Amino acid sequence: MPRLLPVACVLSVLLLAACGGQRDAAGGGAEAVVVTTTRLALKPFQDNLQALGTARARESVTVTAKVSETVQQVHFDSGDTVKAGAPLVTLSGQQQQAALAEAQAAANEAERLYKRQQELAAQQLIARSALDAQRATRDAANARVAQVRAQLGDRVIRAPFSGVLGIRQVSPGALVTPGTAIATLDDLDRMYVDFPVPETRLGDVARGQQVEGRVVAFRGRVFAGTVETVDARIDPGTRAATVRAAFANPDHALRPGMLVEVRALLPARQALLAPEIAVVQVGQTSFAWRVKDDGSVEQANVRAGARRDGQVEILEGLRAGDRIVVDGTGKLRPGAKIVEAAPAATAAAQPAAHAGAGAE
């Protein structure tokens, strides 16, 4: 009886191996991987060029004094909107007022003498040279009056253009000198945004091209503008040119110095688009899983182009009509079989149907 035990064990092992081989043959190898796929097609695609720029006012200046003088009166408050030519600050000008009165009196006397000598010259009672000398004296006196008036004009500091004033920097009684800042003045009705464009992309921008701008202060708001000019020079250090875009700014939301995210919209074209998640990046290589006619997959090396809104342009490696895997790429190997996942709506309906059957 003990001799029969080893024989029985051997027979049991052989029987189990035979059953396992039959199961493998019936199962057909590894199970298919559940994935979602899409079929590629040419679609309209509008590329864009993105950059960071700085907002600038169309006209911007720091108002300063031309002479050394005491502030007599300030005609504005911080943040005021002023028109071109509006007086901002009046400086003391008593000395110039006295000089003007003196110059005006001398000019009046020179004019009176000139008219008198003109009458005498007409009667040939004085030489013509005397009349010419008096004319020169009269003209010099009038020039002196104009000079003093100009000096008085420098005592009234006016807005050079219409705009919004910044914070007031002076007060009545303060002594100002040439270059002393009175306030900033910016024309905010129209703003410029300067942004760099690499020389390799200069062919993608042109005057009149539509651009969009976004700022952190107003999330979700898009400012519409157009390219106004492209700088004639390229910075040899950065190999980029400065592009200036103009934006209408009626509500003064954009302010000078703001950081603006600019997106230049390029002309629409037909492109082979694929979902970004379908393109796998491994080191310097990009590939997608292409589905063959027998339901297996293979790696297709691709060269990707522009990206936008979750789509990537396929430049090389795939063609229109190819079927590629979108979700489930992490489980795939070359030659693996796949099966399309059930749509979400169908999958959700199935549990509801089973629940209704159970209730019956």
pLDDT single digits (tens) 185-244? 999 999 999 999 999 888 888 899 999 999 999 988 999 999 999 999 999 999 999 999
27 falls in which pLDDT band (50, 70, 90)? Answer: very low
Cα–Cα nearest to 65, from 163, 161, 175: 175
User: How many beta carbons lie within 10 A of that of residue 69, not counting itself?
Assistant: 19
Decide which of 126, 152, 181 is a domain's last residue: 181
**DSSP SS3 for 86:** coil
Q: Mean pLDDT for the chain?
A: 83
Distance CA 131, CA 114 (A): 7
CATH of the domain at 311: 2.40.420.20
80 and 225: one domain?
Answer: no
Instruction: Evaluate whether residue 166 is within a structural domain.
Output: yes
- Look at residue 115 in the predicted model and tell me its pLDDT: 86
User: What CA–CA distance (Å, rounded) separates 291 from 271?
Assistant: 21
Are residues 101 and 122 located together in one domain of the fold?
yes
Question: In the chain, how many domains are there?
Answer: 3
* Cβ-based neighbour number of residue 11 at 10 Å: 10
Q: Which of 181, 211, 227 is at the close of a domain?
A: 181
Mean pLDDT for the stretch of residues 122-139: 83
Six-digit token pair at 36?
Answer: 């979602």
Nearest CA among 194, 198, 203, 256 for reference residue 225: 194
301/344 same-domain check: yes
Is residue 21 one of the residues assigned to a domain? no
Same domain flag for 172 and 207 = no
Q: Report the distance separating Cα 333 and Cα 330, nearest Å.
A: 9
Residue 173 is given by DSSP the state T
Q: Is the pLDDT of residue 251 over 80?
A: yes
pTM of the shown model: 0.60
Do 251 and 160 share a structural domain? no
Domain range spanning residue 41? 33-45+270-354
Question: Do the domain assignments include residue 9?
Answer: no
Residue 137 included in any domain: yes
User: 276 with 261, same domain?
Assistant: no
